[in-house]
Amino acid sequence: MVTYLSKKSYQHKTLKEIKFKDLWGDYGVFTTMWIFGRPAKILFFKKHIRNLIKSLKAYNLNKPNIEKDILKLIKFNIVLNRSYNHLFRVAINNKMISISLRERKTPKLKFNLKLVNYKRVDPEFKNLKYQLILKYLLKMDNTISDIGLCFNKNILESGTSNIILIKNDNIYSPSKMIYKGITYNFFKKKLGKIINKDIPVNTLGDYDEILLIGSGKGVTSVQTINDIKWKRKSLKFYKILSNFYQKEILMCPKYN
């Protein structure tokens, strides 16, 4: 069950608080950031805001002063003396900005990926068309499971994260019909090279490691994919990526 610290919605024009709507299924976009510590820090904060504005422009939802309004509402909803370990979601449609804070749970090493035949709507963007994905995720314990989205017999991404795969010390990622998130781009710079290619589901058995990377999952090592009887062969790159990630967390500035 998801535990929320707060959920609020605001009108665009006045920033007046109104009845909360999560906006799932609407025409709009969102971003999810990890807020942690006391005083609060938000990992990759400026990059999340830049990507959100980019998506708003692509969906013709970029209103005058929208960036200033978003930043104002984020700051308004952060309590200075509170200790955080939450996911801070900002969702926007043509009428309102919705903000929510929910508990961030740490994935376990015993983690299973369930394959589902589905491709997100406009997958290159973080849009709000997530109804089918949420239908699956709400039935799962997200510390031990996620769904792996597949289309035309290729694996694409998980319900919450990007997927990278390791074979013979080479790093691979699906090449298209995915959103390359903030965490993905962080690791791309750190690792130097990620080979983008179509990855057929029937070749997953060739890979030594499958990792999920994103704001909610951090770095998560998949142990099993029961649908195809795949099992993790190594934790080598999980440890390498986790080390990069932990160093970035330590360098993250305080939010102000």
Contact 36, 84 (CB under 8 A): yes
Nearest to 183 by CA among 211, 209, 208: 211
Structure tokens at 105: 């749970």
- Phi and psi for 79 in degrees, rounded to 5? -90, 125
Radius of gyration of the chain (CA): 18
Residue 145, SS3?
A: strand
When pLDDT is cut at 50, 70 and 90, the band that residue 1 belongs to is low
Cis amide bond preceding 39, omega within 30: yes
Question: How large is the average pLDDT for residues 64-78?
Answer: 95
Query: What does the alpha-carbon distance between residue 243 and residue 237 come to, in Å, rounded to a whole number?
Result: 10
pLDDT of residue 84: 97
- pLDDT of 240 over the 70 cut: yes
For the stretch 203-216, pLDDT in tens is 999 999 999 999 99
Instruction: Give the H/E segment covering residue 35.
Output: strand 29-37
Q: What domains, with CATH codes, occur in the chain?
A: 4-103 (3.30.470.10), 112-248 (3.20.10.10)
Task: Provide the whole-model pTM.
Answer: 0.95
For the stretch 109-122, pLDDT in tens is 999 999 999 999 99
pLDDT of residue 192: 86
Instruction: Give the H/E segment covering residue 154.
Output: strand 154-158
For the stretch 10-69, pLDDT in tens is 999 999 999 999 999 999 999 999 999 999 999 999 999 999 999 999 999 999 999 999
- Number of Cβ within a 10 Å radius of residue 2: 11
Query: What does the alpha-carbon distance between residue 6 and residue 83 come to, in Å, rounded to a whole number?
Result: 14
Query: What does the alpha-carbon distance between residue 99 and residue 6 come to, in Å, rounded to a whole number?
Result: 8
Q: Which residue has the tokens 């929910």?
A: 102
pLDDT of residue 256: 76
Counting residues of the chain whose pLDDT is more than 90, the rounded percentage is: 95
Question: How large is the average pLDDT for residues 221-244?
Answer: 97
CA–CA distances in Å: residue 78 to residues 72, 81, 224? 10, 9, 38
Average pLDDT for the chain: 96
- pLDDT of 130 over the 90 cut: yes
